[in-house]
């Protein structure tokens, strides 16, 4: 892979119609700074998030609680972080409450892609045990997300973040999105999870997984998914294997172990940033991914800067509880300043 723009690192913001390109032998990916107008109009969305919103019932030693989860549920923080328009595409059931819908709408999200069909929203029961282990049981699953659910406005987003829960995002969605100039990101862990007949969540590698990777520009993964996708002995070799299969960037997020961002230009180690207090770490991986994509676009592709910003986003998010405890750019910048 070569860089088609010699000023890739450190592009100043605000240039009209400035393009930043990755080139490979078989395809070309353009990154556009979206703080400006393109073709005389402001883009409808800077970030689109695709995947199931689901109802999660958490059972711990201290009691039981229910809240919304899934990447689109956390999309409101993209707005408060400064995204120039954020949209979601998701399937929920007829049981999805008007109150939850209202909270998504009033948070400033474009919810034109939120579809109600089927009897039930995806629901997962998570049991957390004293030793830190968790068990997930699926109670209900909403209909899948097909390529026809992505409108032209959706496909005009600067970045599209696919984050399935149980493989509900069909490969055709990525194929269609890849025909646009959008930056395509995939959280691959959700492609590797299914529910068996009893509802228990199992991991497996679908036969068509390479067709997902082939259309992906930035791949988000964790050590478990990484070990399933490759047979390499080390994390670095595994990431290099994935880079040879389509993605230009592979982000391995180890939560409290920090993260490493691999590309054809090398690797960047990103530290875990300790929150001032920890109320809820659920959703931190989604906030990390959204923060990374936004800063990646803002800086014209500065990987290290995007990684630090993403880590700070996840840190601040852990200080709140639930998807509507939104975070702000000010909080994230303050967390970054505390490192120096």
155-211 pLDDT tens trace: 999 999 999 999 999 999 999 999 999 999 999 999 999 999 999 999 999 999 999
Q: Which tokens go with 91?
A: 């399937």
Q: How many C-beta atoms lie closer than 10 Å to residue 243's C-beta?
A: 18
Q: Encode 135-153: b = buried (16+ Cβ within 10 Å), e = exposed.
A: ebbbebbbeebeeebbeeb
- Domain architecture of the chain: domains with CATH: 30-337 (3.40.1190.20)
DSSP 170-238: -HHHHHHHTTSSPEEEEEGGGGGEEE-TTSBEEE---TTHHHHHHT-SEEEE-HHHHHHH---SSHHHH
Percentage of residues in the chain having pLDDT higher than 70: 87
CA distance 293 to 297: 6
Q: Which tokens go with 159?
A: 């970045």
CA distance 114 to 116: 7
Q: How many C-beta atoms lie closer than 10 Å to residue 230's C-beta?
A: 18
Whether 40 shows a pLDDT value over 70: the answer reads no
Place of tokens 């207090």: 277
Query: Is this model's pTM higher than 0.85 or not?
Result: yes
Q: Which tokens go with 53?
A: 């919103």
Mean pLDDT of the region 286-314: 97
CA distance 183 to 162: 11
DSSP 38-85: BTTB--S-SEEEES--EEEEEEETTEEEEEEESGGGGTHHHHHTT-S-
Q: Please say whether the beta carbons of 163 and 174 come within 8 A.
A: no
228-248 pLDDT tens trace: 999 999 999 999 999 999 999
Closest CA to 298 of 2, 70, 84: 84
DSSP 246-285: S-SEEEEE-GGG-EEEEETTEEEEE-----SS-S--TTHH
State the average pLDDT for the chain.
87
116-132 pLDDT tens trace: 988 899 999 999 888 87
Mean pLDDT of the region 62-68: 90
**What's the pLDDT score for residue 338?**
86
**What's the pLDDT score for residue 281?**
85
Kindly tell me the burial class for residue 134, based on how many C-beta atoms sit within 10 Å of its own C-beta (0-12, 13-18, 19 or more): exposed
Percentage of residues in the chain having pLDDT higher than 90: 75
Place of tokens 């679908």: 206
DSSP 290-318: HHHHHHHHHTTS-HHHHHHHHHHHHHHHT
CA distance 57 to 67: 7
**What's the pLDDT score for residue 44?**
63
Q: Please say whether the beta carbons of 36 and 74 come within 8 A.
A: no
**What's the pLDDT score for residue 133?**
87
CA distance 236 to 155: 33
Distant-in-sequence, close-in-space partners of 157: CB < 8 Å, separation ≥ 6? 43, 44, 45, 46, 47, 48, 85, 87, 182
Q: Give strand pairing partners of 123.
A: 55, 140
Whether 301 shows a pLDDT value over 90: the answer reads yes
């Amino acid at each position: 892979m070569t860089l088609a723009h010699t000023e890739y690192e450190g592009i100043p913001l605000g240039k009209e119609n400035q393009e930043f390109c990755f080139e490979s032998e078989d395809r070309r990916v353009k990154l556009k700074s979206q703080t400006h107008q393109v073709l005389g109009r402001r883009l409808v969305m800077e970030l689109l998030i695709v995947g199931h919103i689901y109802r999660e019932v958490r059972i711990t030693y201290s009691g039981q609680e229910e809240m919304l989860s899934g990447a689109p549920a956390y999309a409101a923080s993209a707005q408060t972080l400064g995204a120039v328009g954020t949209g979601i595409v998701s399937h929920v059931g007829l049981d999805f409450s008007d109150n939850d819908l209202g909270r998504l709408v009033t948070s400033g999200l474009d919810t034109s892609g939120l579809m109600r069909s089927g009897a039930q929203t995806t629901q997962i029961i998570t049991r957390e045990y004293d030793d830190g282990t968790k068990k997930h049981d699926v109670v209900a699953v909403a209909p899948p997300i097909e390529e026809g659910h992505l409108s032209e406005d959706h496909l005009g987003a600067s970045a599209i973040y696919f984050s399935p829960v149980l493989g509900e995002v069909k490969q055709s969605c990525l194929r269609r999105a890849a025909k646009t100039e959008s930056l395509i990101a995939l959280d691959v862990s959700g492609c590797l999870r299914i529910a068996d007949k009893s509802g228990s969540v199992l991991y497996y590698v679908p036969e068509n997984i390479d067709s997902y990777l082939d259309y992906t520009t930035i791949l988000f993964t964790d050590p478990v998914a990484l070990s399933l996708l490759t047979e390499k002995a080390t994390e670095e070799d595994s990431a290099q294997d994935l880079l040879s299969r389509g993605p230009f960037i592979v982000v391995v997020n180890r939560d409290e172990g920090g993260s490493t961002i691999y590309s054809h230009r090398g690797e960047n180690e990103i530290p875990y940033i300790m929150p001032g207090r920890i109320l809820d770490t659920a959703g931190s991986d989604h906030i990390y991914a959204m923060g990374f994509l936004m800063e990646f676009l803002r800086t014209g592709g500065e990987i290290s800067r995007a990684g630090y910003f993403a880590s700070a986003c996840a840190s601040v998010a852990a200080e709140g509880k639930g998807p509507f405890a939104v975070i702000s750019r000010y909080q994230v910048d303050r967390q970054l300043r505390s490192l120096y």
